[in-house]
Structures are given as C-alpha cells and as structure tokens.
Chains A and B, each alone.
Chain A
Amino acid sequence: MREEIIISGRLNPNIDPHLTIWHWHIPLYLFLGGLAAGILFFASLYVVLGKENQFRGAVRRAPVIVPLLLIIGLLALFLDLRHKPYFWQLYTTIKIQSPMSWGAWVLMAVTPLSFVWVAIHIREYLPKWEWKWMIFRELEKFFVKYKLYLAWALLFLSTILGIYTGILFSAFNARPLWNTSILGPLFLTSGLSAGAAVIILFSKRKGERVNFAKIDIMLIGIELFLIVHMFMGFLASTEVQIEAANLFLGGPYTAPFWIFVVIIGMILPAVLEFLEIRKFHIPHVIPVVLVLFGSLMLRFIFAYAGQLSRWLY
C-alpha cells in the first residue's frame, strides 16, 4: 500500500485537491473552434473541387455563422485569462512549441478570412445587397476574383485549426490522458462531423443533405475507430496511462463518456442519418443536434477528466 499526503496543508486554489485551472471556457472554445473549422473546411473544399453550385448549403449558407462562432470562442478564451489587461502579449511573439501561441495566430488569420467569406456570399441571404462604400465594392471584386486562392488558404488553415483543438491538450505530457497523438485527429474529425451536421441544417437541397449525411456517418465511423485505438494505446502503455484510461473504463467518467459522447453523440445520430438516407421520415434536425451535443461533450469530458489524470509519484 502506498499513501501520499501533503502534510503542510498546501491548498492552492485551482490545484488542490486536484487540478481544475481550466473550466468551461476552454472546452467551449475548442468546440466552437472545431465546429468553425469543420464548416470552413467543407465550404472551401467544394470551391476547390469546383462544385460550388451543387453544394450551396456548404459553400454559401452555412459559413454565415462561422464569424459568430469564432468570436464567441475567442471571448470564452479571453474570459478564461486571469491576467486580462495583458492579453495582447499573446500577439507579441510566435512560439512554435506552444500550441496556445500558434493557435492564437491561426485564429487571428482565420477569423478575418471567415468574415471575407461571409461578405462575398452575402447575396445568398440578401439578394439585393449593395455595398455602400466604394472600397467594399472594390474589395469584393478582388476577393471574388481570387476566390480559389482564398478557398485553398481556408482549406489549409481550417485543417490546422481543427487539429489544433486537439493538440492544445495532447501537448501536455503532465496529463497522461491528454498526452496521446490521437487527440489531434480525433478532435479534427469531431469538428468536421459537427461541421457536416450544421451544413445539413443549412442546406436547402435534398441531394446535398444526403451527401453530408453520408459524410457524417463516415466521419463518425472514423471517430469510433480513433477512440478504440486511443484506448488500445493507453491500455498497452505505462501505468499512468492505464490509470488515465480507467477514468473512462470504470472510473468517474465512464457513464458520461460512453452514454453522452459515444451513444447519444455518435452512434444514435449515425443510425438516424442512415435511416434518413434509407427514406425513413426523420426530422433532420434531430441527428444534427445530437452530433453537436456529442462534439461539445467530448471536449468537456476530456477537459475535466484530463485534469484529473496525473503522474503518480
């Protein structure tokens, strides 16, 4: 038996009795970042593929919410900072080894580009729209002319943004649950799946909805595969990682993870989407909401469970 106690009464808030320095802000920020990345990925992908007209929901309609998602996400990140007046220090250096740093810079690039994307597609919602100032008209002309380049840039940046939402966690070797390279692809896939789901909601064309339902089912399949792989990796690893996996395999996060994330957030919506494709009548908003819920819960559960996991010494 081994028992370890702190006898001098260390009671640093946010650390004792266990680490909880990150609350709801970070998982919400990562969810919104991942969702925005997912929507932008498909929007730019279909422009690059030259299929803009078949996939108007993805290219023109869904991205309208992206700037809002990113702004709320950044606001959540800002609220999480405890030394707020100094937040601008984030933008005084680029530190490649710090995911927090390059994530902030990627967002700095993606956010304005997402505004541009919405602006050049504004007539999808407001057909009679005319920019009041000449400069906007000129800018619009410029971006429409170089839209393909814009799409390539967004395709690249949104992939990085999606992976970043996972790497922010996996870069911490102090928290064994997070310290797995599967987290990058897993969170990217989860963001893409959430993005595909939102596009289903925005799309007006049945064919496009079916296409994205198929994509979503595939992405959910990949997510399940990655989750199984992650646990296989943990269980074949060192004691600390076995302990970390046990948080989900009998420990306190077992029920929330398997019920909310895997069953309600992945398997159920995949089944509903499958039935929908098979022409059963299911309101498509139901699987969409479930996928979004699952994606959000994945971030929350990983954020909190990761802070419970630690080295033993």
Chain B
Amino acid sequence: MRYAMAIDTRKCVGCSDCVVACQTENNVPIGYCRDWVVEVTDGTYPQLEIEIRSERCNHCENSPCVRCCPTGASHYEAGGLVLVTPHKCIGCGACVVSCPYDARYSHPDGYVDKCTFCMHRIQKGQQPACVEVCPTKCMYFGDLDDPNSDVSRVLKKRKFKTLIPEAGTKPHVYYLI
C-alpha cells in the first residue's frame, strides 16, 4: 500500500477551506498550520498565468526528514506515511531544516508536527479532512497500488507534476496540471 494524494491545480480556487478543516480536525494550535495555499504568478503582463496549489507534507518516499532524525521519531508508517512520534522527538529541529518544502513546524509543546494525511481518519476508511471538505472537489486520495483508487485513476487520465523532483525526495503528493 502506498498512500498518495493528487491535487488539481486547475480546479483549486484558493479558498483555504482545506487549511481550516485541517486546523480543526487535527487541533492545530492557533497561529500554526499543517497545510497552506500557494499562488504562483508566472509571465509578464498581460500574458500572466496563475497556478493555485494547496501544499502540505509530501510523505516522500525518500524523505530527508526521516534520514536525519537522530532518534527515529520521524519514521515511515505502513502505507508510506511519514509520521513523527512526539514522545521520541527531542525537538532538535534537524528535520525542519531538512525538508525542502518547509512542511514541518515546531509545535508549541516542543515536538515537531506536520501533516499526517489524517491517519486517524484513513484507518477508519474515511478521507483526509482536507479532501473531504474541498468545495471544488479538487483533491483525490487513495492507494497508488490499487489501480481503482481515486488517485490512481486520476493520475492515469491527467498530466501531473511533483514539487522539486530534482531534490530526489520522491513526493507522494501529485499536482494535476
């Protein structure tokens, strides 16, 4: 099993519902967030192109954050999820520095926190909160090894990219373009 997410940059309107849903679902402390929305404007006026992306931890297959963690607090969980065990984390910050996407932050309680793909929900067969709540239905979640999952099907149909593939992290969040 390899969990992955595909996000349609052509449908996303940047409403930030996913950000708020995550903060509520995961009790993210006020002033912090695990996912965020980026708007990229490219070109020179009047030939401008805009891409809007909802970003989060990419649950990389070759994740520098797991590699650099001195205690094993950052680890791979079944399904390729990259997670942090708070009671093993010493808060050294190495993983925060190691993530090319700046997807991690230091929780006010001391340990490092980030997106979990809502593991507690997917274990119950539900979708991650951000996927569930998106009003444009621009996110697809599922198992890459299952050809019939939402994410496998949409990746077969559409063109996609990952963020900074040249960093060699093998991200599991795909952006449909």
Contact assessment for A82 and B106 in the assembled complex, using a CB-CB cutoff below 8 Å: yes
Known: A8-B14, A19-B96. A14 touches B106 (CB 8 A): yes
> Which residues of the other chain, A, contact B144 by a CB distance below 8 angstroms?
none
Is there contact, CB below 8 Å, between A4 and B69? no
List the interface of chain B (C-beta within 8 A of A): 14, 16, 19, 31-33, 36-44, 52, 64, 67-73, 86-94, 96-100, 102, 104-106, 109-111, 163-164, 166-168
Say yes or no: A313 contacts B31, CB within 8 Å.
Answer: no
Check if A264 is an interface residue, CB within 8 A of chain B.
no
Question: Chain A's nearest CB lies how many Å from the CB of B113?
Answer: 10
Give the size range of A's interface with the partner: 35 or more
- A23 CA / B99 CA spacing, docked (Å): 18
- Asked if A84 is an interface residue, CB under 8 A from chain B, the answer is yes
Q: Are A12 and B105 in contact (CB under 8 A)?
A: yes
**Residue A6 contacts which of B37, B89, B166 (CB distance < 8 angstroms)?**
B37
On whether the beta carbons of B164 and A311 are closer than 8 Å, the reply is yes
**Complex A-B: 17 CB contacts under 8 Å:** A1-B41, A2-B40, A4-B39, A4-B40, A5-B39, A14-B105, A21-B97, A82-B93, A83-B86, A84-B90, A86-B87, A86-B111, A90-B71, A98-B94, A173-B64, A174-B97, A238-B166
| Contact (Cβ within 8 A) A99 B68 | yes
- The answer, yes or no, to whether A3 is at the interface (CB within 8 Å) is yes
Complex CA distance for A23 and B135, rounded to whole angstroms: 41
Interface pair B64/A92, CB less than 8 Å apart = no
A7 touches B68 (CB 8 A): no
Q: Within the assembled complex, what's the spacing in Å between the Cα atoms of A101 and B91? A: 13
Query: In the complex, what distance in Å separates the CA atom of A2 from the CA atom of B100?
Result: 19
Tell me which of A14, A80, A87, A313 has the highest count of chain B C-beta atoms within 10 A of its own C-beta: A313
Among candidates A1, A15, A22, A101, residue contacting B71 with C-beta atoms closer than 8 Å:
A101
Name the residue on B nearest A82 (C-beta): B91
- Give Cα A21–Cα B43 distance, bound, in whole angstroms: 33
B68 touches A4 (CB 8 A): no
Residues of A within 8 A of B64 (CB): 172-174
A66-104 vs B: 1/0 string, CB under 8 Å? 000000000000001111101101101101011111001
Residues from chain B with Cβ under 8 Å of A313 in the complex: 163-164
CA distance A226 to B1 in the complex (A): 46
> Is the pair B97, A175 in contact by a Cβ cutoff of 8 Å?
yes
Chain B residue nearest to A95 (CB atoms) is B70
User: Once the chains bind, are A8 and B37 in contact (CB under 8 Å)?
Assistant: yes
Given contacts A4-B40, A83-B90, 15 further A-B pairs with CB under 8 A are A6-B39, A7-B14, A8-B16, A8-B33, A12-B105, A13-B105, A82-B110, A86-B89, A87-B90, A89-B71, A100-B69, A171-B68, A238-B166, A311-B100, A311-B166
Residues of the B chain whose Cβ atoms lie less than 8 Å from the Cβ of A121: none
Interface assignment of A203: CB less than 8 Å from any CB of chain B:
no
B70 touches A6 (CB 8 A): no
- Within 8 Å by CB of B39, from A7, A104, A172, lies A7
